[in-house]
Amino acid sequence: MSDERTFIMIKPDGVARGLISSILGRFEQRGFKLVAIKLAKPTDSLLKEHYSDLQTKPFFPSLLTYMTSGPVLATVWEGKDVVKQGRVILGATNPLASAPGTIRGDYALDVGRNVCHGSDSVESAKKEIDLWFKKEELIDYKSSLFSWIYE
């Protein structure tokens, strides 16, 4: 068993389109454990910190507009290799390059409306989780399904 954690965010288009339960279900069905969840209306300052590596990109202003256009669902998942596997579940950043069966492959067509965000490394997951959640919002518990998922 791994206690690796990742940050997965359902973006405003995913929330508005009613995809929350479908997206959460993919992570649950895979066997990952949900340890934090909240609906949030992100501020410009939070998003500037979250997307600090993209601030010099020409699309950054439109990214801020899009990401503040509605609520997002911020989640933290735990499990074996969850950062890498979470990215696989999401699919490629460009939905047109995403395989069918991935979230983006099934629910998105445009990079600018690609439904969700997932941490790209263990280090960025820690940074994003700390940015979006207080320590006391992360719930430690042993899932009753533990023995059915892990050897």
Q: Is 114 annotated as a binding residue?
A: yes
Q: Is 11 annotated as a binding residue?
A: yes
What is the spatial distance between Cα 9 and Cα 20, in angstroms, rounded to a whole number? 10
Q: Which residues contact 72 (CB under 8 A, 6 or more apart)?
A: 9, 10, 11, 12, 15, 39, 40, 41, 42
CA 58 to chain centre: 23
Q: What is the DSSP string of 101-122?
A: TBHHHHH---GGG-SEEE-SSH
- Tokens (6 digits) for 109: 């067509």
Q: Is 87 annotated as a binding residue?
A: yes
- Tokens (6 digits) for 135: 């320590």
Q: Which of 19, 117, 132, 133 is catalytic?
A: 117
What is the spatial distance between Cα 24 and Cα 41, in angstroms, rounded to a whole number? 19
Q: Is 113 annotated as a binding residue?
A: no
Q: Is 104 annotated as a binding residue?
A: yes
The reply to whether 50 belongs to the active site is: no
Binding positions are 11, 59, 87, 93, 104, 114
Q: Which residues are part of a known binding site for ATP?
A: 11, 59, 87, 93, 104, 114
The residues that are catalytic are 117
